[in-house]
Amino acid sequence: MTMRESLAAVLRLIRSARGLSKEDLQGQIDPKHLYNLENAKTGITLDMLNTTSSALNVDPLALLVVASCFEKNLTHDEFLQGLRVEIKGLIDLGVVKGLSEQFVDGSLVPSKAGPPSSPKKIEAVLHCQAQGMTQKETSDALGIPTSTVNRIWRRLK
């Protein structure tokens, strides 16, 4: 069983327990989309999770916790204890403290692109290209991601 399937079952059970049909939620969630979610035919985005949980009048995290507990065969207390440990780890890493620095006036600050490829890396990629190697072969030979090889090849055309 996957998380998608566990969440599908949770959504289906909550809707049914509240006596709601898929059509009752129309206007908030397309019935066909809800059908696909409840039958694990499609995954759920964070935005759709918020919309769906709001329509079902339940916190989105509660949906995920219940689904995850079932998927991992854990009690809610065991699962929540594990979350406490993980959150403590994030606090220790400085993630929680640094969150406010990631926003300005309520908007996420864009992250900067990684450093440009070094001249040696570019030269090595071009050498492989000149030898007639594919991007995949170049990636494997140099131990760098194929996306980096592709970016260097495109940039130099």
The answer on pLDDT for 105 being more than 90 is: yes
Average pLDDT over residues 63-88: 96
Q: Average per-residue pLDDT in the chain?
A: 93
Q: Please tell me the predicted confidence (pLDDT) of residue 111.
A: 86
Split at pLDDT 50, 70, 90, the class of 61 is: very high
Average pLDDT over residues 6-34: 94
**In angstroms, rounded to a whole number, what is the distance separating the alpha carbons of residues 86 and 91?**
9
Split at pLDDT 50, 70, 90, the class of 157 is: low
The answer on pLDDT for 141 being more than 80 is: yes
Average pLDDT over residues 126-142: 92
Q: Please tell me the predicted confidence (pLDDT) of residue 10.
A: 97
Q: Please tell me the predicted confidence (pLDDT) of residue 118.
A: 85
Split at pLDDT 50, 70, 90, the class of 154 is: confident
C-alpha separations of 34 from 14, 29, 49, 66 in Å: 13, 7, 11, 18
Average pLDDT over residues 60-79: 96
**In angstroms, rounded to a whole number, what is the distance separating the alpha carbons of residues 128 and 136?**
11
- Provide the 3-class DSSP secondary structure of residue 16: helix
Average pLDDT over residues 108-135: 88
**In angstroms, rounded to a whole number, what is the distance separating the alpha carbons of residues 86 and 92?**
10
**In angstroms, rounded to a whole number, what is the distance separating the alpha carbons of residues 25 and 12?**
12
Average pLDDT over residues 127-145: 92
Residue 17 is encoded by which pair of tokens? 């327990």
